[in-house]
């Protein structure tokens, strides 16, 4: 059975990266798609959330602005066509170590907090994603504290 993200690359993106480049690109798109899912969770994708995601994509993956925007566009398309967070979270879970997952959780909290409020749907989705990433509740709380600058 063909990997759905690989199928997405083959049917909607040109050129299709090969080998390690494909895996790295798929992981970037999956991580970005999770961030976008959170941004859309409250039915309003704010400018602050968009700016946060763009900045994170540049900083976290060491991308230039044009490449970061391209990844975001691919992630937008992937989340629209692939639907749901399970496939994206599965790819991240299988390729990220605990430290990378914690950093992603912190980034996810940053998206949720970017517009100044935490909608019920955002908090629920963040917990669901954390569960799919096999992150325990304590790690999610630690990531939130890091995102808000709190030290405990």
With bands split at pLDDT 50, 70 and 90, how would you rate the model's confidence at 42?
Answer: confident
pLDDT of res. 21? 74
Whether 49 has a pLDDT exceeding 70, the answer reads yes
Q: What is the mean pLDDT of residues 66-79?
A: 93
Q: What is the mean pLDDT of residues 64-68?
A: 93
Give the CA radius of gyration of the chain: 15
pLDDT of res. 11? 44
73 contacts 54 by C-beta, under 8 angstroms: no
Who wins on pLDDT, 9 or 99?
99
Residue spans of alpha helices (H) in the chain? 4-12, 19-40, 47-60, 65-82, 86-95, 98-113, 120-132, 137-148
Least confident piece of the model among 2-16, 55-69, 91-105, 118-132:
2-16
CB neighbour list of residue 130: distance below 8 Å, 6 or more residues apart: 105, 108, 137, 139, 140
For the domain spanning 4-148, the CATH number is 1.10.3680.10
pLDDT by residue (tens digit) across 95-127? 999 999 999 999 999 888 887 878 789 889 999
Peptide bond into 15 cis (omega under 30): yes
Q: What is the mean pLDDT of residues 50-69?
A: 92
Q: What share of the chain has pLDDT > 90, as a percent?
A: 47
User: What does the domain layout of the chain look like in residue ranges?
Assistant: 4-148
CB neighbour list of residue 127: distance below 8 Å, 6 or more residues apart: 137, 140
- Model-wide pTM > 0.85: no
pLDDT of res. 18? 55
């Amino acid at each position: 059975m063909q990997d759905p993200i690989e199928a997405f690359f083959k049917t909607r993106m040109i050129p299709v990266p090969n080998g390690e480049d494909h895996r790295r690109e798929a992981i970037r798109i999956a991580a970005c798609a999770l961030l976008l899912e959170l941004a859309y969770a409250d039915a309003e994708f704010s400018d602050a959330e968009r700016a946060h995601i763009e900045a994170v994509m540049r900083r976290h993956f060491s991308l230039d602005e044009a490449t970061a925007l391209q990844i975001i566009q691919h992630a937008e398309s992937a989340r629209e066509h692939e639907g749901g967070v399970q496939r994206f979270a599965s790819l991240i879970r299988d390729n990220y170590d605990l430290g990378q997952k914690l950093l992603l959780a912190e980034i996810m909290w940053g998206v949720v907090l970017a517009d100044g409020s935490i909608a019920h749907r955002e908090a629920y989705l963040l917990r669901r994603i954390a569960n799919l990433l096999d992150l325990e509740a304590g790690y999610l709380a630690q990531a939130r504290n890091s995102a808000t600058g709190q030290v405990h």
